[in-house]
Amino acid sequence: MTQGRRIALIAGVVVIAIVAFIVLKPDDKESNSSSNAGSSTTQAAPSGSGTAASKPPVTQVKVVNGKPAGGITEIDANKGDQVRFVVTSDVSDEIHVHGYDFMKDVKAGGKVSFSFPAKIDGEFEVELENRGEQIAKLVVNP
């Protein structure tokens, strides 16, 4: 086995371990935003199902060394829902939500929040625009 294949195998095992940790860890809503070591997937509540005081959940996307920690985060919503997510990044770049054409700058060590109605159904890339690195996938169901 070549050294390149060994490195690829080790990287694959690490990615699987991170995904397994995220999927299998207990759901702790109180400390989710402060103790989240990677990215998480959150499905927005169906429209009209919450009270006036309740807000849809916020998906956390974490960027480390210009890459999405734990892999590309999937953000699921139904058409008409409010899409909410926060990107925390250790690199400066522009966050671009394709299809919706929303763009915000994030500074290294900073975070930026997005909140908008899911008016267009389909799958949309969220990326670090200048690096061309996809960090999340927004899926809006009809």
19-44: average pLDDT: 48
Is 102's pLDDT higher than 70? yes
Beta strand 82-89 with 59-64: parallel, antiparallel or unpaired?
Answer: parallel
Q: Under a CB-based contact definition with an 8 Å cutoff, are residues 112 and 86 in contact? A: yes
Residue type at position 64: V
Q: How confident is the model at residue 20 (pLDDT cuts 50, 70, 90)?
A: low
Residue type at position 95: I
Using the 8-state DSSP alphabet, how is residue 94 labeled?
E
How far apart CA 140 and CA 9 sit, in angstroms, is: 34
20-39: average pLDDT: 49
Q: Which tens digits make up the pLDDT trace of 65-85?
A: 999 999 999 999 999 999 999
pLDDT for res 54: 56
Structure tokens at 106: 């994030």
93-121: average pLDDT: 96
Q: Under a CB-based contact definition with an 8 Å cutoff, are residues 13 and 20 in contact? A: no
State pTM to two decimals: 0.61
CATH code of the domain in which 20 resides: 2.60.40.420
Q: Is 49 exposed, middle or buried (0-12, 13-18, 19+ CB in 10 A)?
A: exposed
- Lowest-confidence pick of 12-16, 51-55, 106-110, 122-126: 51-55
Q: Which tens digits make up the pLDDT trace of 33-64?
A: 333 334 444 444 444 444 444 566 899 999 99
| Domain count across the chain | 1
Reported residue count of the chain is 142
Residue-range definition of the domain harbouring residue 68? 3-141
